[in-house]
Every structure is written in structure tokens, then in C-alpha cells.
């Protein structure tokens, strides 16, 4: 039972980190695209 909860917790944390990273990458891509567009 404890393992089940630990597993769920880890999944939630992993998903959170993945989501944050994806947002950061998206923002970086947008910024870079805008910089390229200016040239």
C-alpha cells in the first residue's frame, strides 16, 4: 500500500517537472524564433 502511494507521488512529481520543463522549452523556442524573425 505504501509502495502504491510512493509510486503515485513520484508520478505526480515527474509529471510536474516534465510540465515545467516543457513550458520552459516552449518559451525558449518562442524567444529564439522571435529573435530569428527580427534578423
Please report, for the chain, how many H helices and E strands are present, in that order. 1, 0
- The predicted structure's pLDDT at residue 9: 83
- The predicted structure's pLDDT at residue 1: 62
Q: What is the DSSP secondary structure assignment for residue 39, as one 8-state letter?
A: -
- The predicted structure's pLDDT at residue 34: 87
pTM beyond 0.85: the answer is: no
- The predicted structure's pLDDT at residue 18: 92
pLDDT tens for 1-39 read 678 777 878 888 899 999 999 999 999 999 998 888 887
In sign, the C-alpha dihedral spanning 15, 16, 21, 26 is positive
- The predicted structure's pLDDT at residue 4: 78
Amino acid at each position: 500500500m505504501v509502495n502504491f502511494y510512493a509510486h503515485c507521488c513520484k508520478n505526480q512529481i515527474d509529471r510536474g517537472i516534465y510540465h515545467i520543463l516543457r513550458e520552459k522549452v516552449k518559451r525558449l523556442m518562442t524567444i529564439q524564433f522571435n529573435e530569428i524573425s527580427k534578423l
